[in-house]
């Protein structure tokens, strides 16, 4: 069970259909702008995932949500959501437990950085309890035009590409191949840092890496990169800080 309280927020697993529906409603507002009659963002993976809610302790307001899919080893990689968009056969040789962190979203009206800290504290507690050795998922940039994100993509190419043994290959029909297209482009560090999505920035600060291309997702109006993090690569000071938040 996951039930972690820190300051103004509590993180916990969804408890029944009502909680899952609240997460889907938040995703609808965060990813689809609250447009459409369905009032949710759902797919077939929701039925096989753990859903995590981050709420305000005092009001119960839902401020963040994400889902977790545990894989016993890399040979199960085809079951994950990311495998719809990336050729991940290189990761099938990973021998440890893995978890896909997906559909991470924040209440559009919430701008408190502590929410992200609590979410990662909850992830840390889960990873430790489950013996997870790799965390992965998709990190999204707003919009389907690469031009506003070129410095960020150039920084990813220069400093954060996946090790060759794990590098995802192209599967989606529409991609931006920044690994090749931006060869020789020097990123502006300030523009790159400003353009990195908060979730991706956290992955990278812990030693995470990305694919060499971004998938253009016209359904959600985003571009996303596959993002991986080997737990043993997390710097000791960062791991200590996360465990302090998690209370483990």
3-state DSSP assignment of residue 227? strand
Eight-state DSSP code of residue 117: H
pLDDT tens string 123-172: 999 999 999 999 999 999 999 999 999 999 999 999 999 999 999 999 99
Q: How many residues does the chain have?
A: 248
What does residue 119 show for φ and ψ, rounded to 5 degrees?
-60, -45
Q: What is the pLDDT of residues 50-87, one digit of tens each?
A: 999 999 999 999 999 999 999 999 999 999 999 999 99
Other Cβ atoms closer than 10 A to 135:
23
DSSP state of 161: B
Asked if 54 and 115 count as a contact pair (C-beta separation under 8 A), the reply is yes
**Do residues 85 and 215 make contact, with C-beta atoms less than 8 angstroms apart?**
yes
């Amino acid at each position: 069970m996951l039930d972690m309280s820190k300051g103004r927020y509590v993180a916990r697993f969804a408890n029944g259909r009502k909680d899952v529906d609240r997460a889907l409603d938040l995703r609808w507002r965060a990813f689809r702008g609250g447009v459409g009659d369905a009032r949710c963002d759902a797919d077939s993976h929701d039925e096989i995932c753990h859903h995590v809610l981050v709420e305000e302790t005092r009001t119960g307001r839902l401020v963040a949500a994400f889902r977790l899919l545990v894989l016993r080893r890399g040979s199960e990689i085809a079951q994950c959501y990311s495998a719809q968009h990336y050729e991940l056969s290189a990761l099938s040789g990973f021998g440890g437990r893995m978890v896909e962190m997906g559909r991470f979203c924040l209440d559009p009206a919430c701008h408190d950085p502590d929410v992200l800290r609590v979410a990662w504290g909850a992830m840390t507690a889960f990873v430790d309890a489950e013996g997870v050795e790799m965390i992965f998922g998709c990190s999204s940039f707003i919009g389907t035009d690469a031009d506003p994100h070129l410095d960020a993509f150039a920084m990813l190419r220069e400093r954060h590409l996946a090790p060759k043994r794990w590098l995802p290959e192209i599967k989606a029909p529409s991609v931006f191949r920044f690994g090749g297209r931006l060869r020789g482009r020097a990123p502006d560090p300030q523009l790159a840092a400003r353009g990195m999505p908060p979730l991706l920035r956290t992955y990278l600060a812990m030693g995470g890496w990305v694919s060499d291309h971004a998938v253009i997702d016209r359904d959600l109006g985003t571009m996303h990169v596959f993002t991986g993090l080997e737990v043993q690569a997390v710097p000791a000071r960062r791991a200590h800080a996360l465990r302090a938040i998690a209370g483990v």
